[in-house]
Amino acid sequence: MRLRNSSVLTAALLTFGLLAPALPAMAAPEQRVPVVVQLPTPELGRDAMPVVMAGNTPLGYGTLSEDGRSVGITTDKPVKQDELRVVWSGGSLPNRSAAARPAPAAGPPRNEPAPNLVPLTASDPGAPGPAAIARTQYTLGDTAFTTPSGHRVEITGEVTYPVDLGATKRPVAVLLHGRHGSCGNAQGKWNIKWPCPAGFQRIPNEQGYRPLADLLAGHGIVVVSIAANGIPGYDNGLRDLGQPDRGALVLRHLELWRGWAGSDTGGPFGGTFHERLDFGNVGLMGHSRGGEGIVQAAQQNARRPVADRFGITALVPLAATDFLRANPRGTASLSVVPYCDGDVAGLEGVHYYDDATTTADTVPHALLGVMGANHNFFNTVWTPGGWEAGTLDDGATYAAERCDRPGRWLTPEQQLGAGNAYVGGFLRARLLGQSEYDTLFSGNTASPPSAKTAGVVASFTAPNRLVINDQADLGKNALGGEVTAAGFTAQQACGGKPGAPIRCFGEESAEPHVTSQWDGPFPSLPQVRLAWDKPGAAWSNAIPAGTKLSGFQALRIRLTHEAWNSAAGLPGLSVSVRDFTGNTASTPLSGPALRLPPGDADSWGNPPALVTAITVPLSAFAGVDPERLRTITITATSQTGNITVADLSLT
């Protein structure tokens, strides 16, 4: 349980009017002191949890007051009121710093497309499909489903589908929104009460993904977007934050649809979908807490009797929380993190990819970071102008310190274009067998025109890769070969098993891949930090003789660089290979993973370091036998640099 180390309110805090989850106290009441932090503006509908900080020290998850104006916690640590603050997170914690970030060195424009990108050879994944589509809504009532926690919520959704369903069963995609306002009115007021009180109507959160639904349905997928407005009214009062309830709600909709597409012709659609839906080929996309909810759905589904399971073949956690550290292993997944997320600011969705790929899996997994994207603009109903109440530009409101404005932010149209192209491409690869779209996530592929941005970083892990180094040991790689480092001013391990260092670059850095360990004994992404102050430093991996290397086409390196101190400029790197006959070849390393992130160089915001991939075709190493590689070496070519390397593999 991820909240095991969180400090929660005891009965003493009831005097402050705060709602406390029913969690046991961690120490005797007389040993703990209640503290309350006032918020500058009321908060009700965030997907992230409030973390109370004493300076740079997290005290734990706090509890939001009923009016959303304060956060309370009890602590046995000595604190000063003027040191207390609240950050919204489920993982990475930004530090408070008085220092200004150094100005960037002269060089190429920031956040511009990196050189040497490979064009996408497949058709544009964001282009509308050929099928004519239709859409209709359904509801069984606001209290039609009793969740595992005992709360009653709605069964409401809408389906978007090809008008001509054809003779072949269609794959199904289910979309789940996150924690947002449940009810609103024309005066702009909103709340999370359920059912909606007098004077309010429900906010149609499930309708905010219509552009994605239209795209998928146009290519032959039946898309069901479901409402989960009832859950935010109680989820923060549960130990599990309502995530299993979200998963159960997804499965309940699938159960109903299995009946409506089967013998239950008395349902809301009559015989429209009779024998036309393939429940052995289901994809799930969840936004924010919905992203964690769909992973819960997959895990609950796996625990069902085999005959009762759905064939969930793809998961897309989008700007997702990861409070319970659910793992998507065994189901293909795409984790999307918007770099300028002002809600789930810790970008803890990276853990879905990291946890699923630490060791080999039988299905592929992908990670996508979208530069300039905020949390809300993936949902049109949450975007200013999209509905009467509950809309917010969360990036401009909460993430301005790490994403300067204007120019570095995506417009709502651009963000929808990016989300639809990449999410659509991944789901089409899994549900329709169009695996050519996997190259979108290689780390070196140019963005398609429909994405309306070149500012993405990515990583893809295929099931048939050969891991050369997973950073489990500084001196030996995963194949048993020797690892050597020469000429570096620093070579140190970070991340990995609980208890390992939770920062690679230092106090000022924000590192979502490792800094979740403060609130639980969880593993994180193992990395090695390499720093240098002159060219020529080299990190080399030996490949033991006899290692089978046939069939591999590319070398993939997953890495990042220190984004906070941009005065040093971009790190320059090359990679060289040597075979057992002595032939050697090298090529520069270039890709979005080495690009400077967006941000205001004069602020003390903390730009997150996303660990993503650079893919180098083995054909780039002319004259070297790719089936008899002896060493792979990464060499520093710039004057200075500070990077981490997470893994090295052939794919």
Worst-scoring range by mean pLDDT, 312-326, 521-535, 599-613? 599-613
Q: Judging by beta carbons within 10 Å of its beta carbon (0-12, 13-18, 19+), is residue 585 exposed, middle or buried?
A: middle
286 vs 300: CA distance, rounded Å: 15
**Can you give the pLDDT at residue 509?**
76
CATH level 3 topology of 466-650: Jelly Rolls (2.60.120)
Which percentage of the chain shows pLDDT scores above 90?
69
**Can you give the pLDDT at residue 100?**
42
Nearest to 540 by CA among 617, 482, 479, 613: 482
pLDDT at residue 347 tops 70: yes
Nearest to 609 by CA among 559, 572, 570, 573: 559
User: Residue 64's pLDDT band (boundaries 50, 70, 90)?
Assistant: confident
285 vs 315: CA distance, rounded Å: 6
CA 31 to chain centroid: 38
pLDDT at residue 166 tops 90: yes
Residue-wise pLDDT for 84-113, tens only, equals 988 877 555 555 543 444 444 444 444 433
Element (H, E) at 33: strand 33-38
CA 287 to chain centroid: 9
- Pair type for strands 538-542 and 483-486: antiparallel
Q: What CATH architecture is 133-461?
A: 3-Layer(aba) Sandwich (3.40)
**Can you give the pLDDT at residue 500?**
79
pLDDT at residue 224 tops 80: yes
pLDDT at residue 60 tops 90: no
**Can you give the pLDDT at residue 101?**
41
Task: Please tell me the total number of residues recorded for the chain in this structure.
Answer: 651
User: Residue 167's pLDDT band (boundaries 50, 70, 90)?
Assistant: very high
In which region does residue 416 sit, left (phi positive, over 0), alpha (psi from -120 to 50) or beta (all else)? Answer: alpha
Report residue 269 as tokens: 């659609």
Coil, helix or strand at residue 138: strand
611 vs 595: CA distance, rounded Å: 12
493 vs 488: CA distance, rounded Å: 14
Q: Long-range contacts: 359-364, Cβ < 8 Å, 24+?
A: 359/470, 360/463, 360/465, 360/467, 361/329, 361/330, 361/461, 361/463, 362/330, 362/463, 363/330, 363/331, 363/332, 363/463, 364/332, 364/438, 364/460, 364/461, 364/462, 364/463
In eight-state DSSP terms, residue 476 is B
Q: What is the 3-state secondary structure (H, E, C) of 279-302?
A: EEEEEEEEECHHHHHHHHHHHHHH
Read off the pLDDT of each residue in 43-62 and give the average, rounded to a whole number. 84
Residue-wise pLDDT for 234-270, tens only, equals 999 999 999 999 999 999 999 999 999 998 888 899 9
pLDDT at residue 397 tops 90: no
Which percentage of the chain shows pLDDT scores above 70?
87
Read off the pLDDT of each residue in 575-583 and give the average, rounded to a whole number. 98
**Can you give the pLDDT at residue 48?**
86
**Can you give the pLDDT at residue 290?**
98
243-260 vs 289-302: helix axis angle to the nearest 10? 60
Does 10 or 607 have the greater pLDDT score?
Answer: 607
180 vs 167: CA distance, rounded Å: 39
- Could you give the angle at the alpha carbon of 305 between the alpha carbons of 300 and 307, nearest 5°? 120
User: Residue 293's pLDDT band (boundaries 50, 70, 90)?
Assistant: very high
Residue whose structure tokens are 């290519």 = 219
43 vs 549: CA distance, rounded Å: 54
**Can you give the pLDDT at residue 25?**
38
502 vs 504: CA distance, rounded Å: 7
Mean pLDDT computed over every residue of the chain: 87
First to last CA, the chain: 35
**Can you give the pLDDT at residue 438?**
97
Domain ranges of the chain: 2-89, 133-461, 466-650
pTM comes to 0.90
Read off the pLDDT of each residue in 532-549 and give the average, rounded to a whole number. 97
**Can you give the pLDDT at residue 65?**
86
Are 90 and 375 spatial neighbours (Cβ–Cβ below 8 Å)?
no
Read off the pLDDT of each residue in 370-396 and give the average, rounded to a whole number. 94
User: Residue 404's pLDDT band (boundaries 50, 70, 90)?
Assistant: low
Q: Which residues pair with 223 in a beta bridge?
A: 160, 173
**Can you give the pLDDT at residue 219?**
98
Read off the pLDDT of each residue in 337-361 and give the average, rounded to a whole number. 92
How many CB atoms within 10 Å of residue 576? 17
Q: Cα–Cα distances in Å, from 406 out to 9, 400, 410? A: 40, 10, 9
Read off the pLDDT of each residue in 3-28 and give the average, rounded to a whole number. 32
**Can you give the pLDDT at residue 44?**
75
Residue-wise pLDDT for 187-215, tens only, equals 999 999 999 999 999 999 999 999 999 99
Are 257 and 207 spatial neighbours (Cβ–Cβ below 8 Å)?
no
What torsion do the CA atoms of 639, 644, 647, 651 make, to the nearest 10 degrees?
-50
Read off the pLDDT of each residue in 461-478 and give the average, rounded to a whole number. 95
